[in-house]
């Protein structure tokens, strides 16, 4: 229970806002690191320096760590300040996918209209577990359609999609049918992670919104070990994140005693 002083002084939560330069560099570096590990591990497995099953398992570690780095970057880097590797979203999933600018715009609108029909990610959240999972699994393609429908096509989109299309076909040409050992596990890991972030974190007993989730201690330790403190807190304290997105992911639990839910207008 919050103390009277804490409840009467919600402004103290602002002490947890922002990231210093070192922390911002770390999330940008981690995005590049885990993206590179995905490609490097696959290449090593393709040339039989490592067993292919090791790649299939490892992507379920790499992708969530890559995704939480991307998520945090969206809150602390604009498209103009992020590095070019992140800006052009070079982790290929499909021939047609969006870049950082478009993904960040969608994420900001998700925050503005969370779990409502105005939320551009509402199709991730609504419906049954099965429909939700299928929608997030094929969200890269759907996102391109919705973006072009609502925002149109410009030079930035053309350049970015051309780069990503080139990488996709380079993978297919270089590895042939063996490229499916890359595309299928990466897509399943990506879709499963996004399903957890989009569907599980915004649904509770039929209600739509954002919620605190308390996991068993063993599962907390499992998430912390595989994915780090930032991801653990982001999936545990998601209500705070949505009300105060300026708080860095690794400070959400510390901010809990000072948290007062924002009144939705």
**For the chain, percent of residues with pLDDT exceeding 90:** 90
Can you give the pLDDT at residue 233? 96
With respect to residue 243, please indicate whether it lies within any of the assigned structural domains: no
pLDDT in tens, 21-41: 999 999 999 999 999 999 999
Q: How many domains does the chain have?
A: 1
Residue 11 lies in a domain: no
User: Mean pLDDT over residues 100-118, rounded?
Assistant: 96
* Cα gap 203→126, rounded to integer Å: 9
pLDDT in tens, 210-263: 999 999 999 999 999 999 999 999 999 999 999 999 999 999 999 999 998 876
- For 5-151, strand residue ranges (E) read none
pLDDT at 111 over 50: yes
Domain presence at residue 251: no
Residue 11's pLDDT is 55
Give 12's pLDDT tier (boundaries 50, 70, 90): confident
Q: How far is CA 82 from the centre of its chain?
A: 16
Q: What is the full DSSP assignment across 168-236?
A: HHHHHHHHGGGGHHHHHHHHHHHHHHHHHHHTGGGEETTEES--B----HHHHHHHHHHH-HHHHHHHH
Q: Give residue 116's domain range.
A: 19-209
What is residue 8's predicted lDDT score, i.e. its pLDDT?
42
Whether 236 is in a domain gets the answer no
218 lies in a domain? Answer: no
Q: Considering the chain, what percentage of its residues have pLDDT values greater than 70?
A: 95
Backbone angles phi, psi at 57, to 5 degrees: -75, -45
Distance of alpha carbon 72 from alpha carbon 179, whole angstroms: 30
Residue 9 lies in a domain: no
The partner residues of 203 in beta bridges, in order of sequence, read: 208
pLDDT band at 138 (very low <50, low <70, confident <90, very high): very high
Euclidean distance between CA atoms 196 and 133, whole angstroms: 9
pLDDT at 6: 43
| pLDDT digits 0-9 by tens, 165-188 | 999 999 999 999 999 999 999 999
79 is a domain residue: yes
Query: How confident is the model at residue 16, as a pLDDT?
Result: 93
Q: For residue 126, is it within any domain?
A: yes
């Amino acid at each position: 229970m919050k103390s009277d002083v804490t409840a009467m002084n919600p402004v103290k939560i602002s002490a947890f806002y922002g990231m210093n330069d070192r922390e911002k560099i770390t999330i940008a570096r981690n995005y590049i690191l885990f993206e590179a590990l995905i490609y490097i591990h696959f290449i090593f497995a393709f040339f039989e320096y490592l067993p292919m099953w090791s790649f299939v398992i490892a992507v379920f570690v790499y992708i969530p760590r890559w995704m939480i780095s991307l998520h945090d970057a969206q809150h602390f880097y604009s498209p103009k300040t992020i590095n070019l590797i992140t800006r052009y979203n070079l982790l290929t999933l499909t021939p047609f996918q969006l870049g950082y600018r478009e993904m960040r715009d969608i994420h900001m609108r998700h925050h503005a209209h969370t779990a409502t029909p105005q939320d551009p990610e509402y199709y991730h959240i609504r419906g049954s577990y099965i429909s939700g999972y299928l929608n997030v699994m094929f969200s890269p393609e759907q996102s391109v359609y919705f973006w072009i429908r609502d925002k149109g096509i410009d030079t930035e989109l053309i350049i970015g999609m051309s780069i990503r299309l080139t990488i996709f076909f380079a993978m297919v040409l270089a590895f042939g049918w063996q490229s499916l050992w890359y595309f299928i596990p990466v897509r399943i890991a990506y879709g499963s992670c996004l399903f957890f972030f989009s569907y599980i974190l915004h649904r509770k007993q039929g209600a739509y919104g954002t919620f605190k989730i308390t996991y068993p201690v063993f599962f907390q330790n499992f998430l912390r070990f595989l994915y780090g403190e930032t991801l653990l807190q982001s999936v545990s304290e998601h209500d705070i994140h949505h009300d105060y997105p300026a708080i860095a992911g690794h400070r959400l639990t510390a901010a809990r005693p000072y948290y007062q839910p924002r009144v939705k207008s």
